[in-house]
Amino acid sequence: MTNFIHYLFCEAAMTTLSNPSPILLPPPLGGTLVNRVRRPGPDFDPAELAGLPRLELSDRSYADLEMLATGAYSPLTGFLGEADYLSVIEHLRLADGTPWSIPITLPVSREEAAQSTGRVVLTHGGEPVGWIEVQERYEGRKGFEAREVYRTEDAAHPGVAALYAGGEVYLAGPVTLFEVPRGAFPRHHRTPAEVREVIEARGWRTTVAFQTRNPIHRAHEYLHKVTLELVDGLLLHPLVGQTKGDDVPAGTRVRAYEVLLERYYPQARTLLSVYPAAMRYAGPREAILHALSRRNYGVTHFIVGRDHAGVGSYYGTYDAQEIFSAYTPEELGIRILKFEHTFYCKTCGQLVSPRTCPHGSEHHLVLSGTRVREKLRAGESLPAEFTRPEVAEVLRGAYTAQG
């Protein structure tokens, strides 16, 4: 079965490559790639903002500001107004019918809301990073939002906890960002427009994106390489925004990708670029957001595996795949590649899935994230069938340094 799948993918790839056509990247959602980055220069002096009200952004809101201003969240030009907010929660669409799954909002306290009128300077770490033209102020329906978006009101859910911790009032309006913050990963930090430029320069007519907040392991590598038999290029797009405290730090995950790409991936067909969004752990709803935003990066295919963007036991194993039936393929504008859980089978002697392996679970090597962290903290080695030795060394070194 595995060889047959490989044959089909090779056939598809050969057909694509043997029929060259002009490179035509998928249009951004809404038709135009939003760009609301305005760098200080001759036509703009930040001193002009002196005397305007200021608002300090959380790490999550700062990440949202970047995603909005660079077009990753096209067609949004700013934080959602009330009509769009309610429509997204109830219908998984903006008020005009455009597919959208998670409200991108700016929560503030009542005191901050009272002071936020007109143009408000946005700061992060006390430094001005942009502004918002406040057009609306409205009450967040947090219980409703939690039930519909996260499918739970349980404050133990990290996304729900962040929702509850935010202010009661939401500000809405178009935003402006002064500079794209590339500090942590300057080599790999690209805007949607810059990723599109790379894809076009490399001549990729089809590109698949892979998103993860976890360290890369052999099952991930299996998905990448099976898909590379079908498409021209692979965008490895690890999320590096805010995550929950026990997730592996972004720097460690990116370094693991770097060492893997050096030895095991075709350089000309692979691009490592970071995805600066904050993690919401909204499972199915977040899978849609991840796919739509990758369309804005110029990607034609997106991998959705088991429990995409999930946490705990709040979502079914394949809920994040099934939710895409809410839209037509034309609306999505990006092809969703759905994979089952993959693992190493000791009897098959290779990476497999339930579709290709006839053996029971006692034959399978499966390590949970918790078990992986326990082994790393104990200084133990990870099985080569689970992860490449070079990746294991990066992870072990990071955990050893933490003490």
How far apart CA 223 and CA 234 sit, in angstroms, is 11
What pLDDT does residue 10 have?
46
Spans of all domains in the chain: 46-177, 186-401
Walk along the chain (403 residues) and give the pLDDT tens digit of each residue.
444 344 444 444 444 444 556 678 999 999 999 999 998 777 777 778 889 999 999 999 999 999 999 999 999 999 999 999 999 999 999 999 999 999 999 999 999 999 999 999 999 999 999 999 999 999 999 999 999 999 999 999 999 999 999 999 999 999 999 999 998 999 999 999 999 999 999 999 999 999 988 888 899 999 999 999 999 999 999 999 999 888 888 999 999 999 999 999 999 999 999 999 999 999 999 999 999 999 999 999 999 998 999 999 999 999 999 999 999 999 999 999 999 989 999 999 999 999 999 999 999 998 776 777 788 778 888 888 889 999 999 988 887 766 5
Q: Contact 17/230 with Cβ under 8 angstroms?
A: no
**DSSP letter at 79?**
E
Strand 301-304 versus strand 207-210 pairing type: parallel
What DSSP assignment string belongs to 13-64?
HHHHHHS-----PPPPTTSS----B---BTTB-GGGGTTS-EEEPPHHHHHH
What pLDDT does residue 35 have?
98
How far apart CA 193 and CA 176 sit, in angstroms, is 17
Query: Which position has the token pair 């930040």?
Result: 46
Which uninterrupted H or E stretch holds 122? strand 118-124
Local structure of 170: helix, strand or coil: strand
Closest by CA to 101, choosing from 252, 232, 282, 335, is 282
List the catalytic residue out of 54, 93, 147, 214: 214
How far apart CA 196 and CA 142 sit, in angstroms, is 36
What pLDDT does residue 7 have?
40
CATH architecture of 46-177: Roll (3.10)
List the catalytic residue out of 190, 196, 213, 306: 213
What pLDDT does residue 372 have?
78
Judge whether 285 counts as a catalytic residue: no
Q: Contact 343/349 with Cβ under 8 angstroms?
A: no
Q: Contact 146/160 with Cβ under 8 angstroms?
A: yes
Local structure of 261: helix, strand or coil: helix
Domain 186-401, classified CATH 3.40.50.850, yes or no:
no
Judge whether 137 counts as a catalytic residue: no
pTM over the 0.85 mark = yes
Return the sign of the alpha-carbon dihedral for residues 348, 337, 240, 167: negative
Closest by CA to 186, choosing from 248, 288, 272, is 272
What pLDDT does residue 2 have?
43
